Amino acid sequence: MEHIFSYHHLREFTREVFIHMGCSLEHAALASEVLVSADLRGIDSHGIARLSGYVRLWEAKRINARPDIRVVHETPSTAVIDGDAGLGLVVAPFAMEIAMQKAAAVGTGWVSVKNSNHFGIAGYHAMMALERDMIGMAMTNASPLVAPTFSTERMLGTNPIAVAIPAKEQPAFVADFATTTAANGKLEILQRKNEEAPYGWIQDKEGHPSKNPHELKDGGALLPLGGDREHGSHKGYCLGAIVDIFSAVLSGANYGPWAPPFVSFLPLSPDPVGEGLGHFFGAMRVDAFRPAEEFKANMDTWIGRFRAAEPVTGKKVLIPGDPEREMHHERLENGIPVIAPVVKDMQEVAAKFNLNF
Amino acid sequence: MEHIFSYHHLREFTREVFIHMGCSLEHAALASEVLVSADLRGIDSHGIARLSGYVRLWEAKRINARPDIRVVHETPSTAVIDGDAGLGLVVAPFAMEIAMQKAAAVGTGWVSVKNSNHFGIAGYHAMMALERDMIGMAMTNASPLVAPTFSTERMLGTNPIAVAIPAKEQPAFVADFATTTAANGKLEILQRKNEEAPYGWIQDKEGHPSKNPHELKDGGALLPLGGDREHGSHKGYCLGAIVDIFSAVLSGANYGPWAPPFVSFLPLSPDPVGEGLGHFFGAMRVDAFRPAEEFKANMDTWIGRFRAAEPVTGKKVLIPGDPEREMHHERLENGIPVIAPVVKDMQEVAAKFNLNF
């Protein structure tokens, strides 16, 4: 059972909720734009489906609705930001803006963030760079759900990486992916439908391959991109580890198994190694390397050539960002389908704040 | 059949070969150190096994033994370098040095390189940053052997990524991996032994899964990390594409299917989109983010905690760089095993230059 809502409706409702949590008007507008951009792009697991989770974190006093987000250390090309336990949805654009200002000044900017919370989809933040003719990058650590190769222990989050690269006539190249075989959101879909997962997505508590999407409740774990050692899971483990270190060890946030869980019913670590969750952002001015028009014309050639690559019969070769961009247009026009459990969730949130959904 | 040679012997022979190709003493010493570091670290496909390939590229006038490597564009945190068709083995350390100088000055340095050739193992260059308390990064594009998801065409190289991160008491974190399920070198080993490859490494010319390690000769392709769509090959495709764009579109080198082949018997593209092969390097001073001692102490905690992660029965959780470091110590002490076909190759190279092997 799905209900269709307009983008405007979901965005406005979300904005109201953030205002009722105590956010400033500016922060509520930004946070709702970032959150619902996930629904627009078809990444349903990271959009309004998470709104009730943010509310519960706020109720548990793990989210500060009035954060004093500030730069605590910097050089001409770098900064560390303390998110003051604010919504990642507003801390991240603040940090990305600093990265872009540094890039404008010295060619590139790199910002590591501590004391933050879940920041929505990485792609939103990376894409902020596009209109300034910059390459944007965003990554974050997250609740530990992923076992390193040869381990049974959940040590890393699904730790996504987003890279947005501008082109000229072609739409931008936008990669945005979890460093696991499958994002947690895909597993949640299988859980709801009670369908099996392919081998390579999850393991049971002893580290054996499993098809049971509920395995994580019994001590199982998500697997790094690659799935098993023979298929390169050590590479996915490397990627997740790099995201964790750039986001949290560089900034002074909690890393690895100490990363704070998104769900408020799980306790925080009693012996934290840092503050809150960590993110990492990068911005590179393309004209810090070659004239922007020249770079973007070559990106058009790159994209055109890859789009024209010989396809497998019946298939189409895609450019990173194609499916999400098409979904964005489609949903902006025709509305966003929301499954019944999420509608119920929204109604409960609405009741809590005396709002209508 | 394997023969054991000392590191010193292989290094000295390689140095002599580069001198006989016309390299300066300085370049020959550096190139041989970079090349044989692959053998020391156990990445046999990228060490002296490739020496005859470099010689053939030089004979085909695709490698310039006396390059004028120079910065052609720069900002405080970036540079583009023209390798003047030199050995990537010397162009890459030059570029990494520039990246580190920029990092010393403004916090980070990012260098894209055009008009280069194969640069050995990415890890060598990334690790240059460690002794200066910097995080080092190195990537390169390469001969097109990899089909994007849903394509039958070879559009990307195995495009490796290396990231080296310093620690305090613990050895450094050093990730160095191809963005394919399996590096081409692993396929070469199966080819020599006439053994089957696991599914997920290669496809046949129509894009069907294949176990035949000789499939590339019949129009097949290597697969991006993930193997197939269901296991996240679109993420491996994204990674390979990002490496290609950072290395070659930013610098003005050849990208995608235009990347020049390593084997001299394949013709260069008649309509190049840039100059030579491309690389990308990064250096980030850790104290551009937080005090170096604090960062490195936290890396010790990170590494110690991951090493202690609960293992799958009978296995051991590794830190990226562990196997290569152990191999380095082992081979430095006990010598480097070289398989018979490579010994024969070396003897032919030796005869060509009137040297002994």
Q: Do A318 and B234 touch (CB under 8 A)?
A: yes
Q: Mind telling me how many Å the CA of B152 is from chain A's nearest CA? A: 6
Helix (H, G, I), strand (E, B) or coil at A143: coil
User: pTM for the complete prediction?
Assistant: 0.98
The whole-number pLDDT of residue B183 equals: 85
Q: Which amino acid is at A186?
A: K
Cβ atoms of B324 and B177 closer than 8 Å: no
Tens digits of residue pLDDT in B229-258: 999 999 999 999 999 999 999 999 999 999
Q: Do A309 and B153 touch (CB under 8 A)?
A: yes
- Name which of A114, A151, A161 to mutate to probe chain B: the one with the most chain B Cβ atoms within 10 A of its Cβ: A151
In terms of Cβ atoms closer than 10 Å to its own Cβ (0-12, 13-18, 19+), residue B67 is buried
List the 198-227 stretch of A: residues with Cβ below 8 A of B. 198, 200-201, 206-207, 225-227
From 3.40.50.1820, 3.30.1370.60, 3.40.50.1370, 1.10.510.10, which CATH number describes the B68-179+223-293 domain?
Answer: 3.30.1370.60
User: Strand runs (DSSP E) across A308-350, as ranges?
Assistant: 336-339
Q: Does B298 touch chain A (CB under 8 A)?
A: yes
Which tokens hold the place of A90? 């507003």
The whole-number pLDDT of residue B349 equals: 97
CA distance B153 to B149: 10
CATH 1.10.1530.10 in chain B: give the residue spans. Answer: 1-66+321-357
Cβ atoms of A59 and A92 closer than 8 Å: no
Q: Do A151 and B317 touch (CB under 8 A)?
A: yes
The whole-number pLDDT of residue A27 equals: 98
Helix (H, G, I), strand (E, B) or coil at B344: helix
CA distance B244 to A309: 16
Which string of b and e fits A208-236 if b means at least 16 CB within 10 Å?
A: eebeebebbeeebbbbbbbbbeebbbbbb
- Helix residue spans in chain B (DSSP H): 7-21, 25-40, 51-59, 88-106, 122-127, 184-193, 233-244, 292-307, 322-334, 340-352
| CATH architecture of the domain formed by A68-181+223-320 | 2-Layer Sandwich (3.30)
Rounded mean pLDDT, A86-110 = 98
What pLDDT band is residue B48 in, cutting at 50, 70 and 90? very high
The superfamily in CATH containing domain A182-221 is Hypothetical oxidoreductase yiak; domain 3 (3.30.60.50)
What pLDDT band is residue B192 in, cutting at 50, 70 and 90? confident
Q: Was domain B1-66+321-357 assigned CATH 1.10.1530.10?
A: yes
Rounded mean pLDDT, B129-146 = 98
CA distance A222 to A184: 8
CATH 1.10.1530.10 in chain A: give the residue spans. Answer: 1-66+335-357
What percent of chain A clears pLDDT 90, i.e. is strictly above it?
94
Cβ atoms of A53 and A346 closer than 8 Å: no
CATH 3.30.1370.60 in chain B: give the residue spans. Answer: 68-179+223-293
CATH 3.30.60.50 in chain A: give the residue spans. Answer: 182-221
Residues 6+ apart with CB under 8 A from B162: B121, B122, B123, B125, B126, B127, B136, B137, B138, B139, B174, B175, B176, B177
Per-residue pLDDT at A132 exceeds 90: yes
- Beta strands B209-210; B78-82: pairing state: unpaired
State the DSSP string of B21-75. Answer: HT--HHHHHHHHHHHHHHHHTT-GGGTGGGHHHHHHHHHTT-S-SS---EEEEEE
Q: Do A149 and B241 touch (CB under 8 A)?
A: no
- Name which of B179, B289, B290 to mutate to probe chain A: the one with the most chain A Cβ atoms within 10 A of its Cβ: B289
Q: Does B284 touch chain A (CB under 8 A)?
A: yes
Per-residue pLDDT at A354 exceeds 90: yes
CA distance A297 to A66: 43
Tens digits of residue pLDDT in A144-191: 999 999 999 999 999 999 999 999 999 999 999 999 999 888 888 888
ipTM, 2 dp: 0.98
Which class is A1-66+335-357 in CATH? mainly alpha
What percent of chain A clears pLDDT 70, i.e. is strictly above it?
100
Q: Beta-carbon neighbour count of residue A136 at 10 Å?
A: 29
Per-residue pLDDT at B184 exceeds 90: no
List the 77-106 stretch of A: residues with Cβ below 8 A of B. 77-78, 80, 106
Q: Which residue from B110, B178, B299 is facing A249, i.e. has the nearest CB? A: B299
How far is it between the farthest Cα atoms of chain A?
56
CB < 8 Å to B299, chain A: 245, 249
Cβ atoms of A87 and A49 closer than 8 Å: no
What pLDDT band is residue A194 in, cutting at 50, 70 and 90? confident
CB < 8 Å to B244, chain A: 302
Cβ atoms of B312 and B183 closer than 8 Å: no
More confident residue, B182 or A95: A95
Per-residue pLDDT at B193 exceeds 90: no
Q: Was domain B182-220 assigned CATH 3.30.70.260?
A: no
CA distance B254 to B259: 5
Sheet containing A202-203: which strands, arranged edge to edge? Answer: A209-210, A202-203, A221-222
Rounded mean pLDDT, B268-278 = 96
- Name which of B77, B195, B251, B286 to mutate to probe chain A: the one with the most chain A Cβ atoms within 10 A of its Cβ: B77
The whole-number pLDDT of residue A185 equals: 81
What percent of chain B clears pLDDT 90, i.e. is strictly above it?
94
Per-residue pLDDT at B222 exceeds 80: yes
Q: Do B225 and A232 touch (CB under 8 A)?
A: yes
Which tokens hold the place of A34? 């970032």
Cβ atoms of A216 and A207 closer than 8 Å: no
CB < 8 Å to A317, chain B: 148-151
| Mean of per-residue pLDDT scores for chain B | 97
CB < 8 Å to B237, chain A: 320
Per-residue pLDDT at B1 exceeds 80: no
The whole-number pLDDT of residue A280 equals: 99
Rounded mean pLDDT, A251-274 = 95
Q: Do B181 and A226 touch (CB under 8 A)?
A: yes
Q: Which residue from A112, A238, A318 is facing B177, i.e. has the nearest CB? A: A238
The dihedral through the CA atoms of A332, A334, A337, A343 has a sign that is: positive
Tens digits of residue pLDDT in A28-49: 999 999 999 999 999 998 999 9
